[in-house]
Structure 1
Amino acid sequence: MQEFYERTNEICFLCTCNTDRTSVDCSNRGLTDLPTGIDAKVTKLNISSNDISTFPENIFKLNNLISLDISNNQLKELSENALQNLTSLEILNLSKNRFESWLSLNPNEVLKTATNLKILDLSGNKFNSMANLANQELLISPSLETLILDNCEIDSIHGRSPLSGLNNINVLKMNHNPLLRIQNLISPTLRSLYISNCQLSYINHNELSYLPSLVYLKISHNYRLQLPSSANFLFSSSLRYLDISYCNIFKPNLFGFPNLRKVIINHNMIRYLRSNEFINNTKLEYLDLSNNNIGSFKSDTFRGLTMIRYLDLSWNEIAQIPEDSLLEMPSLTQIKLARNYLNRVGHIKSTSLSVLDLSSCEISIIGKDSLEGFPSLVDLDLSHNLLSHIPDSISSNTLKYLNLNYNRLSSVSNYTFFMLPRLSGLSVIGNRFTNIWSRTFFDSNPYLDRLELSDNMWRCDCTDNNMFDFYEYITLEPNKKDESYNLICNSPVTFIGQTWLEACYFVWNPGERVGNADNLIWFIIVMIVGLSLCIILINTIRRSMNRRLAAMQTERERQVEEARDRLRQLRIRAEQEALCNTPDPRDLIAPPSYDEALSMPKLNVSCQSLNETGTGKTKRRRGRRKTKSSGDLLEETDRNGDVPVLDDIELAETTYDKNKRRRRRNRRYGSHEIAELDQSPGARRRRMSEYNTEDDSVIEVEAELERPLRPRIRRFSDENQPRESDF
């Protein structure tokens, strides 16, 4: 089961299937054979327009097939068993293949198995002729009803009848073949025969007698075909429909068809109609003789057409209609006489005529009593003529629709339509009316509900009350007779091209003009106020945006300044930390021990001699420097925390007056340099030696050594090594 569904899905993917998958369309798929996977329940199969050259052998599995289309392929022959097991097949289309001979079809055997075949289409092949096949039947099928042989290049029918093996044939189509004559078509069941667009030139007068059931015969577009003369006319008692249009017929010659219902003989060469031309066609209901060269006919030409309802004599050369010629057709309801040369509407009579078409006939005169002969007339078409006047009191108690389009009418009066009480539609498009009509013209036409007045040369006088009154009559509900946009002014110059309403609106509605002026003023005021509000709103938005931008700019500047302050503070803090953390260069050298310091020799030269190592320029530059006062020096020493130096200086000044001048600092050094020299280890040792030699005051030295020192943060020093501050 799963494999079955897969095959079904595959065929529906390749072709087109309906919902229940009973119809499969595989046309235009480039197939060379019947695709696999088609279910046996398929009833309609289309494999046309492919490249199949051999009739599919496995098609016999589709025993439910009703319609098979294998047209437009490459088939050249059919085997005897091609349609085996296709007992349900009703329609077989083999058109547009490459069959060139009837023998390639096996015509005596191939259709026997298709017991329900109804339609066989073989058009578009090349059989060339329909002849007997060595005393065999052309086709044998007890069920076939329709045989189509269009475009098969058949030029003759001879020998045994090709229809003798088709016991149930109803329709035979042989259109578009180079067929010259109809011969040996014998069939008791054939009802419809189509032989259009062939080359028929003659039909034997007894040819249709072999088709006793023929009802429909269409032999149009045979440009050389002529019917036999009255002495040897065609005969068929069963024929109902005959179409011999576009042929070369000079006379109708329908005497041999007593049961005709519809005849089309248009576009032929008929020049005149004789007396009693249709005397034997008493059942004829539709006769089309248009587009011939009929110039005249007699008053008794249509005698015997007691059941005719439609007669078309348009596009002929009829100049005069006999007064009583239409009375011979008591059932006639519609006649078309358009495109003839009738220059006036005479006293034509017809008791049953309801539709009369006299358009494009160059009619220039209508008699006052010309419509009195049509007691049943409902629709009269007089368009495209040369009428310039309609007589007053033209009379018809039944006329409803009057068409006067595209004539030369220029005026009507109160009595023009007075005697047309049933008039419900009037059309005068494309005439020459200039003066506006009055609604009083239609006081006697209560049923008028359609009035077409467009494409005229109306002169619009808006001050004329009649114009406004008539405009309301033709446009207002409930009986609106015309659309207002179809009423166009042609004069004066200021109104050309405008509708009546556009041209006269303010004249017919004077209050609207004042109202419109007031509305215009108010509109201008509102526009000015609205524009002012828009300007104010725009300025407000602009100021708000400017303030916002200024605030944003101020905030941005404040943030930038704060960032700069933070960076400045961070830089100062970094400099201070770097200054505090910088190690003292004197700490990089380990100080001498106490014993070493006592054993060290004294300096022969004072520390002041160290300053003399510089160059003369340096000495002069240093001499120019401004030294600090003793107060500044004291403040600086206090700031640096070296209080013992100040005490040493005071002790030296009090105890040793002799060496006071010698210990005076050279003025060429600055205060900071003096402080550095006083704090140097050499200066301390000298002071200590001086104290020891003169006063032997060990107690003061010890006090000096025991004096607490300011702790200092020193980096890059060894904590285990002794420092000068430890002494």
Structure 2
Amino acid sequence: MILLRILSLFFITLANSDLLEFDDSSNEVCLICICNMDKTSVDCSRRGLTDVPEGIHTKVKKLNMSNNEIFSFPKNLKRLNNLNSLDLSGNQLSEIPEEAFNNLTALEVLNLSRNHFESWLQINPNEVLQPMTNLKILDLSFNKFGTMGNLANQELLISPSLETLILDNCEIESVHGRSPLSGLINIRVFKLNNNPLIGFQNLISPTLKSLYVSNCRLSYISPNELSYLPSLVYLKMSHNYRLELSSTVNSLFSVSLRYLDISYCNINQPSLKGFPNLRKAIINHNMIRFLSSNEFNNNTKLEHLDLSYNNVASVMGDTFRGLTSLKFLDLSWNQIAHIPENSLVEMPALTQIKLARNYLTRVGHLKSTSLAIIDMSSCEINLLGKDSLEGLPSLVDLDLSHNLISSIPESISSNTLKYLNLNYNRLSSVNNFTFFMLPRLTGLGVIGNRFTTIWSRFYFLSNPYLERLDLSDNLWRCDCEDENMFDFYEYVTLEPNKKEESYSLICHSPNNVVGQTWLEACYFTWNPSERGPNPNNLVWFIIVMIVGLALCLLLINGIKSSMNRRLATIQAERERQIEAARDRLRQIRLRAEQEALVNTPDPRDLIAPPTYDEALSMPKLNVSCHSLNETGSGKGRRKRGRRKTKSSGDLLEETERDIQESELELTEVPDDRRRRRRRRSKKYGSHEIAEYDQSPGVRRRLMSDHGTVDDSVIVQVEAELENPVHSRNRRHSVDEVPTESNF
């Protein structure tokens, strides 16, 4: 058990390592190319690569390297042993080595088209395909092989598994001599389209089922040429403008052929007698002028025959004898003027026939027990017989459009007819018995005719299954007063049995309604209550207008009151903001005043008042003054006061004015007898005490104490005083603009 667990872990590790390696390399490749989800398909087309990119894992199954610049065959393709589809088209390859596909045993589809191969020997046809044991499709189109005639042994393609070989547009001019298919023992499809091929001979293959030689230059094929292809089922030789098939005994012969396409050739006779098991024959766009008696007598299994776009002028009564299995016959775009009455009886299984674009003048007494669809459009039919449909008991769809029919016979009968197309004829009238004998009628088209009188719903009393009625593009005369018109309009356009769209019914007369629909022209006639003035409607209109006007007034008043309330709210909010600003400025002013009072000391508090003796000993001043600081001459006096402070707003001006009035004092000057503002000294402290000590009274007292008396008095005024003891608030000059931060 332990050993098994160790081995399982070992294998899991190896698997994970391989997976990681695969993911890493695949990621690198997917950066250049396009990968699918499981990374088994890689598309590297149109990348300008010169080689297959490295890192592609061996699990890749589909690789597209088309439209690149690869000049030499990639050598690293050998390791992709799981590859089943390889596309190397649109490159510059000119040769393929013998061992190029040695390891590609799973390859099924190989595309080497649009390269530069010019000779069969360049691809080593004997050896290159044999390693690919599962190869099914090989595409070598758009190369320049030139010929497949008299191929030597070393030029033959040899593959035991190849089923489809495509050699379109390879400039091959002839296939003769030894068969090029002799080395392909399992070939099924061989394509030689769009080559300048004049003819092919000795094309031998017991397994070939489909041969394509369209758009070549074939002019003649040997009568026994197809006998070498005993399994051939599908033969397409269209667009060979020179091809002619013999109508004699020596015509082409093939017992196995089921499908034949010889359209767009130069064939004068169908010449199908040599194909007894043919199921489908397309012979359109040829030069067939005449169909002889018993032309298809040997084609008893033919089911589809297309003879359109020829020059067939007449058909005999026994032309189609022997076509007992024919279901579809196309004779359109010919020159047939008459079809014998019993010619269709020879085809008991015929269900559809096309006779459009011929020269038929009347619908004759055709007889067929199985015919269900007849197309006789765009002929020159001008007469429709009363009993023309009686010989067609299975008829379901009849197309007679684009003809010259001017009248429909009364009581035309068919118990199975469902769709009758009479568009673009010359019909002008119908009556109660026109469609009376068509009980199964489901759709009727009369577009582009000459009807003027409005129909009646009673025309279709015997047609209970009618679902579609096309009446547009007619010359309808709209008589809105006619009750039948309104009744028929409802019958045609109203649900649930709606048969026509109302916009398709257009009036062409009288002149006042030309171009209008029936409803537009007759609306007020069919609805008279909505045309003229109605008193009740007028009253209701007035009421609605009054109510609407009242609602408008209420709405306007509401909007106006709302706007007023809004404006009042905005104004109140603005006033509140202004008042708040004023309160803030008032508080700032009060705070400034308090700080000024607190920080400004009184000088008189610092100097003790003189005694009586000292006062007597003090010198007498010549001028009166309010304090000792003004001692001296009048010229040396300075105004005392605080610096002015300016601020924005009337509140700051008021604050400044109050401060100035509280701090300034008036003084009298004896010279000019005017009152001037005097600024108090801003400096107080020890210098004032020193000035007092130097005063004459103090000096005289001191001298008397020492016995020295001096009558002279010297008064010294200090120009500069010492700094005050207490710190003072910053003052601004008058010129400076104060801001709120200064407060």
TM-score (structure 2 length as normaliser):
0.77
Give the CA deviation at 1:338: 0.5
Tell me the residue number matched to 2:156.
138
**Alignment deviations for residues 406-437 of structure 1 (CA, whole Å, 9 cap, x no partner):** 22222211011111111111111222222221
Of 306, 319, 330, 1:288 maps to: 306
Preserved contact between residue 176 and residue 203 of structure 2 (Cα < 8 Å): no
Preserved contact between residue 452 and residue 482 of structure 1 (Cα < 8 Å): yes
Give the CA deviation at 1:511: 5.7
Relative to structure 1, is the Cα distance of residues 135 and 573 closer, same or farther in structure 2, using a 3 angstrom cutoff? Answer: closer
CA distance in 2, matches of 1:670, 1:166: 142
Give the CA deviation at 1:131: 2.6
Give the CA deviation at 1:577: 7.1
Q: Counterpart of 1:24 in 2: which secondary structure?
A: strand
Relative to structure 1, is the Cα distance of residues 378 and 607 closer, same or farther in structure 2, using a 3 angstrom cutoff? Answer: closer
**Alignment deviations for residues 225-277 of structure 1 (CA, whole Å, 9 cap, x no partner):** 11123243111121111101111112212121121111111111112222222
Determine if the alignment matches structure 1 residue 552 to structure 2 residue 570. Answer: no
Tell me the residue number matched to 1:220.
238
Of 162, 170, 178, 2:188 maps to: 170
Give the CA deviation at 1:546: 2.6
Determine if the alignment matches structure 1 residue 328 to structure 2 residue 346. Answer: yes
The equivalences for 1:53-132 within 5 A come to 53-132=71-150
CA distance in 1, matches of 2:29, 2:443: 62
Tell me the residue number matched to 1:347.
365
CA distance in 1, matches of 2:375, 2:548: 62
Tell me the residue number matched to 1:268.
286
Determine if the alignment matches structure 1 residue 251 to structure 2 residue 269. Answer: yes
CA distance in 1, matches of 2:476, 2:543: 37
Give the CA deviation at 1:611: 13
Determine if the alignment matches structure 1 residue 543 to structure 2 residue 561. Answer: no
Determine if the alignment matches structure 1 residue 300 to structure 2 residue 321. Answer: no
Q: Counterpart of 2:305 in 1: which secondary structure?
A: strand
The equivalences for 1:441-456 within 5 A come to 441-456=459-474
Give the CA deviation at 1:541: 2.3
Relative to structure 1, is the Cα distance of residues 458 and 517 closer, same or farther in structure 2, using a 3 angstrom cutoff? Answer: farther
Tell me the residue number matched to 1:469.
487
**Alignment deviations for residues 367-394 of structure 1 (CA, whole Å, 9 cap, x no partner):** 2222222222111001111222111111
Q: Which runs of 5+ in 2 are unaligned?
A: 1-16, 625-629, 636-669, 678-691, 702-721, 727-743
CA distance in 1, matches of 2:220, 2:359: 34
Q: Counterpart of 2:175 in 1: which secondary structure?
A: coil
Preserved contact between residue 121 and residue 155 of structure 2 (Cα < 8 Å): no
CA distance in 2, matches of 1:75, 1:684: 132
Give the CA deviation at 1:453: 1.7
Q: Counterpart of 1:326 in 2: which secondary structure?
A: coil
Relative to structure 1, is the Cα distance of residues 504 and 518 closer, same or farther in structure 2, using a 3 angstrom cutoff? Answer: farther
**Alignment deviations for residues 446-483 of structure 1 (CA, whole Å, 9 cap, x no partner):** 22122222222333333322222222322344433223
Preserved contact between residue 177 and residue 198 of structure 1 (Cα < 8 Å): yes
* 262-271 vs 538-547, greater mean Cα deviation: 538-547
Tell me the residue number matched to 1:386.
404
Q: Counterpart of 1:103 in 2: which secondary structure?
A: helix
Tell me the residue number matched to 2:552.
531
Q: Counterpart of 2:567 in 1: which secondary structure?
A: helix
**Alignment deviations for residues 600-659 of structure 1 (CA, whole Å, 9 cap, x no partner):** 6977x9879x999989xxxxxxxxxxxxxxxxxxxxxxxxxxxxxxxxxxxxxxxxxxxx
Larger Rg computed on CA atoms = 1
Of 406, 413, 419, 1:401 maps to: 419
The residue type equivalent to 2:189 in the other structure is V
CA distance in 1, matches of 2:488, 2:368: 37
Relative to structure 1, is the Cα distance of residues 526 and 222 closer, same or farther in structure 2, using a 3 angstrom cutoff? Answer: farther
CA distance in 2, matches of 1:437, 1:260: 51
The residue type equivalent to 2:571 in the other structure is A
Give the CA deviation at 1:561: 4.9
The residue type equivalent to 2:567 in the other structure is N
The equivalences for 1:347-496 within 5 A come to 347-496=365-514
CA distance in 1, matches of 2:618, 2:553: 104
Q: Which runs of 5+ in 1 are unaligned?
A: 616-665, 674-679, 690-713, 719-727
Relative to structure 1, is the Cα distance of residues 595 and 288 closer, same or farther in structure 2, using a 3 angstrom cutoff? Answer: same
Relative to structure 1, is the Cα distance of residues 522 and 508 closer, same or farther in structure 2, using a 3 angstrom cutoff? Answer: farther
Q: Counterpart of 2:322 in 1: which secondary structure?
A: coil
CA distance in 1, matches of 2:489, 2:675: 124
* 552-561 vs 361-370, greater mean Cα deviation: 552-561
Preserved contact between residue 203 and residue 228 of structure 1 (Cα < 8 Å): no
Preserved contact between residue 131 and residue 138 of structure 1 (Cα < 8 Å): no
Tell me the residue number matched to 2:332.
314
**Alignment deviations for residues 295-314 of structure 1 (CA, whole Å, 9 cap, x no partner):** 22222221221211111011
Relative to structure 1, is the Cα distance of residues 31 and 716 closer, same or farther in structure 2, using a 3 angstrom cutoff? Answer: closer
Give the CA deviation at 1:502: 4.2
Q: Counterpart of 1:242 in 2: which secondary structure?
A: strand
Relative to structure 1, is the Cα distance of residues 203 and 527 closer, same or farther in structure 2, using a 3 angstrom cutoff? Answer: farther
Alignment size in residue pairs: 633
Q: Counterpart of 1:232 in 2: which secondary structure?
A: coil
Give the CA deviation at 1:518: 7.8
Give the CA deviation at 1:405: 1.1
CA distance in 2, matches of 1:582, 1:244: 135
CA distance in 2, matches of 1:439, 1:518: 41
Q: Counterpart of 1:328 in 2: which secondary structure?
A: coil
Preserved contact between residue 267 and residue 291 of structure 1 (Cα < 8 Å): yes
Q: Counterpart of 1:197 in 2: which secondary structure?
A: coil
Preserved contact between residue 583 and residue 716 of structure 1 (Cα < 8 Å): no
Tell me the residue number matched to 1:642.
none
* 512-521 vs 470-479, greater mean Cα deviation: 512-521
Give the CA deviation at 1:574: 7.4
Q: Counterpart of 1:273 in 2: which secondary structure?
A: coil
CA distance in 1, matches of 2:90, 2:336: 50
Give the CA deviation at 1:220: 0.4
Give the CA deviation at 1:147: 0.5
